[in-house]
Amino acid sequence: MGDVTVVGAGVIGLSIAHELAVAGHRVQMVAARDATSSVSAVAAAIWFPHDVNSSAQVLDSAQVTYRRLQHLASRPGTGVRMRQGTVLMRHADTDTTWTRAVPQHEWLDSSEIPAGIVASAGASGVRCTVPVAVTDVYLRWLQAAVLALGVKTSTAEVRDLREVLDQENPDALVVAAGIRSAALLGDDDETYPIRGQVVRLANPGLTEWVTDDDNPEGLTYVVPREHDVVCGGTGDRGSWDEQVDPLVEQAILRRALALVPALAGQPVLSRAVGLRPARTSVRVEAVAGYNKPVFACYGHGGAGFTLSWGDAARIAGLIGPA
């Protein structure tokens, strides 16, 4: 195989295009909008397997991506930073298998956990260092990287994969179109959106992030970046609503300020809503029924950045060298 078309230009599609081009393929990307206008641009882009079912494959891809992003953090201009922070957990049965992929982490004792959380039975916390990406900077860097490798891009809304196979005549096609992937393939009823709303505040000088996924009032996370702080969020399963809800934003800010009081008085810089492409399990596989090899890579939930390089490597392995 030499010519490969990738449908989708978010963080998954770009990472796949990069790895295929490195392997020697001639790659064409086609998508209705580029990465800076996709759901990838809404993400807080902190390495963490959020809204994705845990499995050996997910953990392996997360480890691969952690190492790749850690390397990119040492390079100027990528927008990736290694940042220390805290994962707060309110339940004893919370899945912590992700810690195997994090070299620098330590369990907190009860004296280090906020009083409102330690009161929960089985409450705990993990302090660790993980990659965080400034999404617009990282996505622009990744776009430039694939273009430098000779990847061609085109803007079009793909409605029929067979038309792409007929018109482009690639040797293989990869579907990495996020939430639209299932509809394009037409053989998947396991995919659904998870609506995520965020508000971005001016950064008063914070560098450490914190997450409180099990907050009874709603999913809560605070992720400082260079000049802003991403505050979230929501996890509305099955919702296709992409409009910002002012009342939801107020609730997000209340929870974020309770967790990080230093945010009080900081102005709102921007706000956004994105639909996380969730699935019962991440789909990375060959798809039968076409006259050319077709591969699927989607269903990453809130872990697109976290699994991007690992799953891109999986797709490159399935397709093989040019």
Which tens digit of pLDDT belongs to each residue from 205-218? 999 999 999 899 99
For a pLDDT cut of 90, what percent of the chain falls above it? 85
pTM of the model: 0.95
Residue-level pLDDT at 43: 85
Query: CB burial class (10 A; 0-12, 13-18, 19+) of residue 219?
Result: buried
Q: Does the pLDDT value for residue 121 go beyond 80?
A: no
Taking a C-beta distance cutoff of 8 angstroms, is the pair 34, 5 a contact? no
User: Can you tell me the mean pLDDT for 240-267?
Assistant: 97
Alpha carbons 89 and 288: distance in angstroms, whole number: 41
User: Can you tell me the mean pLDDT for 98-108?
Assistant: 92
**How sure is the predictor about 120, in pLDDT bands with cuts at 50, 70 and 90?**
low
**How sure is the predictor about 116, in pLDDT bands with cuts at 50, 70 and 90?**
confident
CB neighbourhood size of 58 (10 A): 25
Residue-level pLDDT at 119: 59
Query: Domain of 257: which CATH number?
Result: 3.30.9.10
Collapsed DSSP state (helix, strand, coil) of residue 30? strand
Q: Does the pLDDT value for residue 16 go beyond 90?
A: yes
Look at the block and give the residue holding tokens 């030499």. Answer: 2
User: Can you tell me the mean pLDDT for 229-242?
Assistant: 96
- State the residue range of the domain holding 33: 3-319
Which tens digit of pLDDT belongs to each residue from 18-31? 999 999 999 999 99
Which tens digit of pLDDT belongs to each residue from 122-151? 788 999 999 999 999 999 999 999 999 999
Per DSSP, 25 falls in state -
DSSP string, 157-207: ----HHHHHHHH--SEEEE--GGGHHHHH-----EEEEEEEEEEEE-SS--
Q: Does the pLDDT value for residue 33 go beyond 90?
A: no
DSSP string, 216-244: TT--EEEEE-SSEEEEE---EET----S-
| CB within 8 Å of 34: residues ≥ 6 apart | 9, 143, 153, 155
Q: Mean pLDDT over all residues of the chain?
A: 94
Residue-level pLDDT at 1: 63
Taking a C-beta distance cutoff of 8 angstroms, is the pair 198, 271 a contact? yes
Measure Cα distances from 55 to 19, 95, 102 in Å: 23, 11, 16
Counts of helices then strands in the chain (DSSP H, E): 8, 15
**How sure is the predictor about 109, in pLDDT bands with cuts at 50, 70 and 90?**
confident
Query: CB burial class (10 A; 0-12, 13-18, 19+) of residue 70?
Result: middle
Taking a C-beta distance cutoff of 8 angstroms, is the pair 173, 205 a contact? no
CB neighbourhood size of 127 (10 A): 16
Residue-level pLDDT at 183: 95
Query: Side-chain half-sphere of 142: how many Cα atoms within 13 Å?
Result: 31
Q: Does the pLDDT value for residue 38 go beyond 90?
A: no
Which tens digit of pLDDT belongs to each residue from 286-314? 999 999 999 999 999 999 999 999 999 99
For residue 72, the surrounding DSSP H or E stretch is helix 56-72
- Amino acid found at 127: R
Collapsed DSSP state (helix, strand, coil) of residue 149? coil
Taking a C-beta distance cutoff of 8 angstroms, is the pair 198, 44 a contact? yes
The count of structural domains within the chain is: 1
State the virtual CA torsion across 22, 28, 31, 35 in degrees, nearest 10: 30
Higher-confidence residue of 79 and 90: namely 79
Residue-level pLDDT at 226: 87
Collapsed DSSP state (helix, strand, coil) of residue 17? helix
Collapsed DSSP state (helix, strand, coil) of residue 301? coil
User: Can you tell me the mean pLDDT for 226-255?
Assistant: 96
Residue-level pLDDT at 76: 94
Which tens digit of pLDDT belongs to each residue from 5-15? 999 999 999 99
Residue-level pLDDT at 29: 97
Residue-level pLDDT at 37: 80
